[in-house]
Chain A
Amino acid sequence: MANLNIVSICGSLRKGSYNAMVQRLLPSLAPEGMTIKPAPSFAEFPLYNADIQNSTGFPAPVNTLADAIRAADGVIFCTPEYNFGIPGGLKNAIDWVSRLQNQPFAGKPVALQSASPGPVGGARVQYDLRRAMMFLDAFTLNKPEIFVGNCASKFDEKTGELKDETTRGLLKQQLAAFATYIARVESKD
């Protein structure tokens, strides 16, 4: 299989985020040939306003994130759920890049992961993201789904080490499935 360059996007900005812990784990669980790097941050994006876009154009960090997505063979989201939905900051980033010509998610393979302290593990954020990604013509991997529920008990709070073997196994399975999926959906031109 060809080398795959993947970018991961964490939906939480806090340093001690469990989703950032998941994100940091991914390179060590990826199948051979798959490289996973964190995407440039969306922390400095202004809130979307079409008047900004029309007067001064797209802010530089928006273009930087979009370029990274365009250049990647696939994108993995690791995100918490905020109020039964997508974190506003992450949605704001998606809203900005969605307005670019050569919209970066079009035709892009995407995989979803979420960790949360509750029993559902962020399922609702994933289904909302799936819908937004569908509108943007991304190719979103179906299964296996990764819901890291009760995440506080599965990670070492200090080292960020994943202590749960079931989750580790599922993450490996998803990354392997993602590699196969990318090969299947990639443009055959």
Chain B
Amino acid sequence: MANQQLDVLVICGSLRRGSYNAALARTLPALAPAAMKLRDAPPFDTIPIYNHDIQDATGFPAESRTWADAIRSADGVIIVSPEYNWSIPGGLKNAIDWVSRMKDQPFKDKPVALQSAAGGILGGSRMQYHLRQSLTSIDALLFGRPEVIVTFAAQKFDEKTLELKDQTAIDMIKLQLAGFEKFIRRVSAKE
């Protein structure tokens, strides 16, 4: 897949419309290398809270299957998420918990890159390290550096348009996306 177009899925961990992380996710297409096409993941907000009894009785909820299909069909996944209480938002973790139970587990051998924006000085980094831990358990292939950690988000996005104005962050995202393209090509199965 040396020059082939890469189809990369973007998952946002926040459900709120004015989310800084959703705004961050929206900046990615313009900053991606030419051969990388980005698309938004289907929503996970209506996936019920994981309960093994539901899985046994009525199977995997349709929304969880749609979400998993989108991950499976992508060449790579970028998760852009806020940090809640020093960790992964429960809703995002719930979606991961559901698909982790599937036979053809969608994160297995899937290249994944992480980004976060947060109001404070650590920029959601604790969430990223917890995600690394969980995604390790389901055999994702995690991209290392550069990390995209947008600190003091309120100062870096335009208050009204939510456009990312911070050049350092923009440069870091470009570097990460370029690095992620190489990473995907390197770790993809060589049939």
Name the A residues within 8 Å of B133 (CB-CB).
Answer: 84-85, 124, 128
Q: Which of B12-66 contact A (CB under 8 A)?
A: 14-18, 44-45, 47, 49-53
Stretch of B79-87, B153-161, B167-175, B176-184 that contacts chain A: B79-87
Q: Which of A83-108 contact B (CB under 8 A)?
A: 83-95, 98
B70, CB-defined interface residue at 8 Å: no
Stretch of A129-137, A165-173, A179-187 that contacts chain B: A129-137
Name the A residues within 8 Å of B15 (CB-CB).
Answer: 47-51
A-B contacts, CB under 8 A, total = 129
Contact check, B90 vs A90: say whether CB atoms are below 8 A apart: yes
B89, B90, B135 — most chain A CB neighbours (10 Å):
B90
Contact check, B45 vs A86: say whether CB atoms are below 8 A apart: no
A14, CB-defined interface residue at 8 Å: yes
B95, CB-defined interface residue at 8 Å: yes
Contact check, B84 vs A98: say whether CB atoms are below 8 A apart: yes
Rounded to whole Å, the gap between the CB of A108 and the closest CB of chain B is 14
B77, CB-defined interface residue at 8 Å: no
Contact check, A88 vs B92: say whether CB atoms are below 8 A apart: yes
Partner of B87, one of A16, A84, A89, A128: A128
Measured between alpha carbons, how far is A84 from B94 in the docked complex, in Å? 13
Contact check, B51 vs A43: say whether CB atoms are below 8 A apart: yes
Measured between alpha carbons, how far is A49 from B16 in the docked complex, in Å? 5
Can you name 26 A-B pairs with beta carbons within 8 Å? A13-B51, A14-B51, A47-B45, A48-B15, A49-B15, A49-B45, A49-B91, A50-B14, A51-B17, A82-B97, A83-B100, A84-B136, A84-B137, A85-B88, A87-B94, A88-B88, A89-B50, A89-B94, A91-B87, A91-B89, A91-B90, A92-B49, A94-B90, A95-B89, A98-B84, A132-B87
